[in-house]
């Protein structure tokens, strides 16, 4: 029996020293496997007297039990060691900054359109749209520009093949046809802006064949020049972010407004810069839209969106707006913003 005890002691020491799961398994096989030392001693029991068998059997079972327990305990320790080693070698450094995500930019023109809509929106204007391919009637005739009027030549119009003799088609030369479309559909009071593409056959550092305008139209019973002035002053001061910006109204001429004015802003304390045209809607235009000029009157204005964008953001060459050069866009573009 002492052999069994000694054996067990030895195994217990080996178990404690086992440095890998494989070592431990070898010890288990050598002690408790089919041909293991303790197993063989158990088998020998058959040759003993019943009395001895009971005593020795119980003792062997105890020893076997203690070995099994020791193996289980060491196994858990070794498994922990293995796991910790793996965790240490596979550690993720989650403090690493993320890779930069390429972010798109808002084109300065889109940004200026958003700002413009926002400012006029706060003044109660709603946005209207019209087609880029426009009928001669809306682009010219209804705006008090009859067929032989010199203004038609001045606007360098792109003409399109007409579908019929009566209605020649043009690429709209300004956003003013949207005034006509609105007044023919809706009755006063009217308070709208129209933004969009316009076209003239012209190309240099300050002209491109396609450009953008914003148009404004207000028609009511008592709307007068004072309202026009206040409205444009408010817009320019908010848009150029200068509450003291000075405006100058010079007499001008447009067939569709009377009186007409050109508006300049006092730029950087050094020079007057023209930024828009405006005036009181001509009675003929109202008549052309079935609005009685004895009951209603109002004002209109139009300005180039590229022009105000170039001024505000110091962009020198208009042609670059449309070249889709990413370096230019990254420089002059804007991050998307969420507006409340």
Binding test (CB under 6 A) with ligand PHE, winner from 279, 288, 306, 332: 279
| Comparison of 300 and 329: residue with beta carbon closer to ligand PHE | 300
From 7-15, 78-86, 104-112, 296-304, give the range in contact with ligand PHE by CB under 6 A: 296-304
Task: Please report, as residue ranges, which positions from 93 to 132 form the binding site for ligand PHE (by CB under 6 A).
Answer: none
Residues 15-44 as x/- pattern, contact with ligand PHE by CB under 6 A: ------------------------------
Identify any residues that bridge with 247 across adjacent strands, giving them in sequence order: 265
Residues 145-184 as x/- pattern, contact with ligand PHE by CB under 6 A: -----------------------------x-x--------
> Which residue's C-beta sits nearest to ligand PHE?
302
Question: Please, what is the minimum distance in Å from the beta carbon of residue 121 to ligand PHE?
Answer: 19
Binding test (CB under 6 A) with ligand PHE, winner from 111, 302, 305, 306: 302
In angstroms, the CA 248 to CA 263 distance is 6
277 forms part of the interface with ligand PHE (CB under 6 A): yes
Pairing of strands 247-254, 257-267: antiparallel
| Comparison of 129 and 325: residue with beta carbon closer to ligand PHE | 129
| Comparison of 239 and 254: residue with beta carbon closer to ligand PHE | 254
SS (H, E, C) the chain: CHHHHHHHHHHHHHHHHCCCHHHHHHHHHHHHCCCCHHHHHHHHHHHCCHHHHHHHHHHHHHHHHHHHHHHHHHHHHHHHHHHHHHHHHCCCCCCCCCCCCCCCCECHHHHHHHHHHHHHHHCCCEEECCCCEEEHHHHCHHHCCCCCCCHHHHCCCCEECCCCCCCCEEECCCCCHHHHHHHHHCCCCEEEEEEEEEECCCCECCECCEEEEEEEEEEECCCCHHHHHHHHHHHHHHHCCCCCCCEEEEEEEECCEEEEEEEEEEECCCEEEEEEEEEEECHHHHHHCCCCCCCCEEEEEEEEHHHHHHHHHCCCCHHHHHCCCHHHHHHHCECCCCCC
From 87-95, 107-115, 234-242, 300-308, give the range in contact with ligand PHE by CB under 6 A: 300-308
| Comparison of 41 and 193: residue with beta carbon closer to ligand PHE | 193
301 forms part of the interface with ligand PHE (CB under 6 A): yes
257 forms part of the interface with ligand PHE (CB under 6 A): yes
| Comparison of 31 and 300: residue with beta carbon closer to ligand PHE | 300
# chain residues binding ligand PHE, by CB under 6 A: 11
| Comparison of 36 and 216: residue with beta carbon closer to ligand PHE | 216
From 156-164, 223-231, 299-307, 309-317, give the range in contact with ligand PHE by CB under 6 A: 299-307
Give residues in contact with ligand PHE (CB under 6 A): 174, 176, 215, 254, 257, 277-279, 300-302
């Amino acid at each position: 029996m002492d052999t069994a005890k000694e054996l067990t002691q030895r195994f217990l020491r080996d178990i404690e020293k086992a440095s890998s799961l494989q070592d431990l398994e070898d010890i288990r096989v050598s002690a408790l496997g089919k041909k293991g030392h303790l197993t063989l001693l158990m088998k020998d029991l058959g040759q003993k007297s019943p009395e001895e068998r009971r005593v020795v059997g119980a003792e062997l079972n105890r020893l076997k039990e203690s070995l099994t327990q020791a193996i289980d305990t060491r196994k858990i320790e070794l498994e922990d060691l293995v796991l910790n080693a793996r965790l240490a070698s596979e550690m993720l450094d989650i403090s690493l900054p993320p890779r930069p995500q390429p972010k798109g930019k808002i084109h300065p023109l889109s940004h200026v359109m958003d700002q413009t809509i926002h400012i006029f929106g706060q003044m109660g204007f709603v946005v209207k749209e019209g087609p880029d391919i426009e009928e001669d009637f809306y682009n010219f005739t209804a705006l008090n520009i009859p067929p032989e009027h010199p203004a038609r030549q001045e606007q360098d119009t792109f003409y399109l093949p007409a579908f019929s003799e009566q209605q020649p088609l043009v690429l709209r030369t300004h956003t003013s046809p949207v005034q006509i479309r609105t007044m023919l559909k809706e009755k006063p009071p009217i308070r709208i802006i129209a933004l969009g593409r316009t076209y003239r056959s012209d190309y240099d550092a300050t002209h491109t064949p396609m450009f953008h305008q914003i148009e404004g139209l207000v028609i009511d019973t008592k709307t007068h020049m004072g309202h026009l002035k206040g409205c444009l002053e408010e817009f320019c001061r908010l848009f150029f972010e200068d509450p003291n910006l000075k405006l100058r109204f010079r007499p001008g001429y447009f067939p569709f407004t009377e009186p007409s004015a050109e508006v300049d802003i006092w730029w950087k304390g050094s020079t007057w810069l023209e930024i828009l045209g405006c005036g009181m809607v001509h009675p003929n235009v109202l008549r052309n839209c079935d609005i009685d000029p004895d009951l209603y009157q109002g004002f209109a204005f139009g300005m180039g969106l590229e022009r105000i964008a170039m001024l505000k953001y110091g962009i020198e060459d208009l042609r670059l707006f449309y070249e889709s050069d990413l370096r230019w866009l990254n420089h002059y573009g804007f991050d998307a913003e969420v507006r409340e």
